[in-house]
Amino acid sequence: MALPLHLSRRNFLVTSGTGAVAMCVSGNAGGYTGAEMRAFAADDTLKGVSKWELDTPALCVDLDKLSGNIATMRTRLADMKVVSRPHAKTHKCPTIAKLQLAGGSIGICTAKISEAEVFSAAGIGPILMTTSNVTPNKIRRAMQIRKTNRQFIQAVDYPQNARDLNDAAHEAGIVADVVIDVAIGTRSGVPAGDEALALAQLVDKLPNLKLRGVISYDGGAQHIKGFKNRLETTLNRFGPSVDTFERMKRAGLNTEIFSGGGTGTYNILPKAPGVTDLQVGSYIFMDCQYIEIGSESNADIFADFTPSLTVVTTVLNTYFPKSITTDAGAKALTLNKPGPWVIGEKSFEYNAGSDEFGVIRYETAGRSYKVGDKLELIVPHCDPVVNEYDQVYAIRGDRVEAVWPIAARGHSQ
Amino acid sequence: MALPLHLSRRNFLVTSGTGAVAMCVSGNAGGYTGAEMRAFAADDTLKGVSKWELDTPALCVDLDKLSGNIATMRTRLADMKVVSRPHAKTHKCPTIAKLQLAGGSIGICTAKISEAEVFSAAGIGPILMTTSNVTPNKIRRAMQIRKTNRQFIQAVDYPQNARDLNDAAHEAGIVADVVIDVAIGTRSGVPAGDEALALAQLVDKLPNLKLRGVISYDGGAQHIKGFKNRLETTLNRFGPSVDTFERMKRAGLNTEIFSGGGTGTYNILPKAPGVTDLQVGSYIFMDCQYIEIGSESNADIFADFTPSLTVVTTVLNTYFPKSITTDAGAKALTLNKPGPWVIGEKSFEYNAGSDEFGVIRYETAGRSYKVGDKLELIVPHCDPVVNEYDQVYAIRGDRVEAVWPIAARGHSQ
């Protein structure tokens, strides 16, 4: 089973429209630096530069595939009577957030207050911050956002935190919108049940807070392999959150938001009663981790969305048998597993364990490679890879159409 | 053996001067954002802000320990009649590079052309770029640096690349300095022996290149556990590089530079004949990976240098038994193993596998923890962690003395 599965995934990469041919070009292109490309972007003269001419490692997103993924998510969710509130921690890019909103999403999520600041400053209103702000400074920052952006909502998971938020909102002269973060597992959130209900009732009573509903995210469920297993585990673990949500509703509390889920459970969580929207993130880009979880229609491959995000890298060394060294290592691709996949090559094993270099081992290659050649990679896990780059090249065909700043890159606070 | 070794490392962390007490403070400090701290830095009013008041995750370097590590390296290498040419890919920070140069280093190394640009623009002359520039654009960028910085040296490992560099230098109207990168293992460099000698002879003949010597780095040797094993393996694998260096010398070629080694082999490589300088990087910061390799005097712990680099993180959740969630995950700490170590807590197992959260599991804790408390961590592997931050807080005692931009952060091209 292991080998066919492995091969079927590689075949998917070769044939999925990610491009079977010309995934490698010879290295005598002129090349453009990041600074040059930004300058081009400013005066709009960059159109037509080939992605193979970019200085590498270069982070690229295929615009047609990105748009296709946004449209697919909209259609699929509409069939299930829910909407998306995509997690912007995946792309950290206001331009992409605006594409998502234009494509039917009702808002975005952020994980960190520094991300929320970037997106709010970029003119994006509906932001739901899914992590609690627990220090006085971050609470102050959250209230600053809320003062200028009435659509900003933040999570709360402790009674003391609710009181702190209420005090800060009072001091800022506002009423701040909050959702109760109900835990699934033990990472974040208030335990489902009595504690969560009591917290919601506290929030409802605090004069400077407005309860908007519930968020409940199951990080561990997204990458469960096999659709049936993922479905059963997800709905089982989500049960206590549903119970809590229904108890809140029966208690007369505001439950207009019941948000959760991710790309791996986008077609599972809508089966739970009451869910309003999904915090999907990776669907716009896809990555090696998601490809291998399998989908409802395909046990081996999660092909509901198309890989749109790639890193272009340059071959640096071919002296040694069955080995190719590239210029994209852990600082360009992270250490997530499975490692990067070389588009168009079925048997390449790409190791990004070295900080500065990628090392490919192979038995057979689809062509011969020489120093300066370019390779294109599907990334292991999209979120942390994007966070390594200041910009992403927006590609149509194989030409650069725009250079998008990853404005919230490095915003881990 | 496993348990005592494990405990002895944790004891080292508790007692090494990294600080046994007050590694956790309660969370009611006011807090300062990165932007505020940069503003403070500009008008020099930041002195005295406690590191426990910084918004987290916050990257900090202890100035006394940093200076101590620089002084220790200088003294130890002087005893062995070699000097250091530290690798700036570790810190990516011109301020630290200048401290190293002031502390006896003869220059710095960079891995990428975009790093070399940053350090050269910051006024640092002696830069040795250890990776070859193989594309026309990167070669052009290298020549641009060399035009304004006569101390810039770059690596070469292919005859065609030497010819390309020569052509570009000719076009730029300069003579460019190069070193031959002699491979150890199969990652980068020209194979030792005939091919390397022929390449050196080619470079020597090319009119617009000046041969300066040899670099030869063994990435795989640095983290071999146990000093005796590391010593024997390193010198054994370095043998062909020494032979090549000596053949070059006998052939009348310039061999003024014979550079290699790293922090793990800083007191090993000088035993090889002819070595002039060491490309040490991590010694200034140290990290969990290096602590556990053991040293000449201590089989368990590499304590020749003191951990100076830490990440301060905030406790976000303590609802669940034997579990603490923090705000520093993979985007703040990377996925390198061993995972981060919590200073002052011997039995904590910190998992940074989640993008946005750290999850600590423990059996016993030295104190009780509540939401908003701060923890300080030794990082898994310093280089890629530094690359996640725009700035590092320079700490004296527990007060911020300066905010240093990590100017080459994200410069993976």
Which tens digits make up the pLDDT trace of B57-111?
Answer: 999 999 999 999 999 999 999 999 999 999 999 999 999 999 999 999 999 999 9
Q: What average pLDDT does range A17-29 have in this prediction?
A: 39
Geometric angle at alpha carbon B400, from B394 and B403, rounded to 5°: 50
Residues ≥6 apart with Cβ < 8 Å to A246: A273, A274
**Which residue's entry shows tokens 């020489």?**
A370
Do domains A17-63+302-405 and A126-283 share one topology? The answer is: no
- Give the pLDDT confidence of B297-326 residue by residue, as tens digits: 999 999 999 999 999 999 999 999 999 999
Query: Best mutation site among B40, B53, B160, B317 for testing chain A: the one with the most A CBs within 10 Å?
Result: B317
B57–A357 C-beta distance less than 8 A: no
Q: What average pLDDT does range A141-157 have in this prediction?
A: 98
Q: Which residues of chain B are within 8 Å of residue A330 when distances are taken between CB atoms?
A: 334, 384
Query: Which of B215, B263, B264 is CA-nearest to residue B238?
Result: B215
The CATH number fitting domain B16-63+302-405, selected from 2.60.40.10, 3.10.129.10, 3.40.50.1390, 2.40.37.20: 2.40.37.20
Geometric angle at alpha carbon A247, from A245 and A252, rounded to 5°: 100
**Residue B48: predicted pLDDT:** 79
For residue A5, pLDDT over 50 is answered with no
For residue B16, pLDDT over 60 is answered with no
Q: Supply the mean pLDDT for chain A.
A: 92
**Residue A48: predicted pLDDT:** 79
For residue A46, pLDDT over 70 is answered with no
Q: Which two tokens stand for residue A356?
A: 């500065």
Q: Chain B closest CA to A49's CA: distance in Å?
A: 14
For residue B40, pLDDT over 60 is answered with no
> Percent of chain A beyond pLDDT 90?
88
Q: Which CATH class name applies to B64-291?
A: alpha beta
Query: Best mutation site among B91, B187, B392 for testing chain A: the one with the most A CBs within 10 Å?
Result: B187
Higher pLDDT, B46 or B367: B367
For residue A41, pLDDT over 80 is answered with no
Higher pLDDT, B228 or A4: B228
Q: What average pLDDT does range A341-359 have in this prediction?
A: 97
Q: Which residues of chain B are within 8 Å of residue A371 when distances are taken between CB atoms?
A: 134, 158, 160-161
User: What gap in Å lies between CA A275 and CA A253, rounded to an integer?
Assistant: 16
Q: Which residues pair with B374 in a beta bridge?
A: B314
Query: Which of A186, A35, A77 is CA-nearest to residue B362?
Result: A186
A323–B27 C-beta distance less than 8 A: no
**Residue B3: predicted pLDDT:** 33
Least confident of A235-244, B10-19, B135-144, B352-361: B10-19
Q: What average pLDDT does range B7-28 have in this prediction?
A: 44
For residue B136, pLDDT over 60 is answered with yes
Instruction: Return the H-helix or E-strand segment holding A382.
Output: helix A382-386
Interface size A-B, in CB pairs within 8 Å, comes to 193
**Residue B33: predicted pLDDT:** 67
> Percent of chain B beyond pLDDT 70?
89
> In this complex, which of B33, B134, B188 lies closest to A372 when CB atoms are compared?
B134
For residue B114, pLDDT over 50 is answered with yes
DSSP symbols for A265-327: GTTTGGGSTT--EE---GGGT--HHHHTT--SS-SS---SS---EEEEEEEEE--STTEEEES
Query: Which ipTM did the prediction report?
Result: 0.93
Instruction: Return the H-helix or E-strand segment holding B401.
Output: strand B399-405
Q: Chain B closest CA to A373's CA: distance in Å?
A: 9
Instruction: Return the H-helix or E-strand segment holding A404.
Output: strand A399-405
- CB contact burial A135-171 (16+ within 10 A = b; e otherwise): bbbbbbbbbbbbeebeebbbbbbbeebbebbbebbbe
A371–B160 C-beta distance less than 8 A: yes
Nearest CA in chain A to B52: A135
User: What gap in Å lies between CA B297 and CA B391, rounded to an integer?
Assistant: 35
Residues ≥6 apart with Cβ < 8 Å to A283: A69, A72, A73, A86, A263, A266, A304, A305
For residue B131, pLDDT over 60 is answered with yes
Query: Best mutation site among A52, A188, A331, A362 for testing chain B: the one with the most B CBs within 10 Å?
Result: A331
Q: What are the residue ranges spanned by the domains of chain A?
A: 17-63+302-405, 126-283
**Residue A270: predicted pLDDT:** 98
Residues ≥6 apart with Cβ < 8 Å to B291: B9, B12, B13, B301, B302, B303, B307, B378
Q: Which residues pair with A341 in a beta bridge?
A: A378
Contact A302, A293 (CB under 8 A): yes
Geometric angle at alpha carbon A57, from A378 and B333, rounded to 5°: 80
> Percent of chain B beyond pLDDT 90?
88
A28–B136 C-beta distance less than 8 A: yes
Nearest CA in chain A to B335: A335
Instruction: Return the H-helix or E-strand segment holding A247.
Output: helix A227-250
Q: Which fold has domain A17-63+302-405?
A: Lyase, Ornithine Decarboxylase; Chain A, domain 1 (2.40.37)
Q: Which residues of chain A are within 8 Å of residue B317 when distances are taken between CB atoms?
A: 157, 187-189
**Residue A25: predicted pLDDT:** 41
- Give the pLDDT confidence of A69-107 residue by residue, as tens digits: 999 999 999 999 999 999 999 999 999 999 999 999 999
A355–B137 C-beta distance less than 8 A: no
Query: Which of B375, B323, B315 is CA-nearest to residue B349?
Result: B323
A27–B372 C-beta distance less than 8 A: no
Q: Supply the mean pLDDT for chain B.
A: 92
**pLDDT band for position A39 (cuts 50, 70, 90):** low
Query: Best mutation site among B356, B392, B411 for testing chain A: the one with the most A CBs within 10 Å?
Result: B356
The CATH number fitting domain A126-283, selected from 3.40.50.720, 3.20.20.10, 3.10.310.10, 3.90.870.40: 3.20.20.10
Q: Which residues pair with B310 in a beta bridge?
A: B60, B378
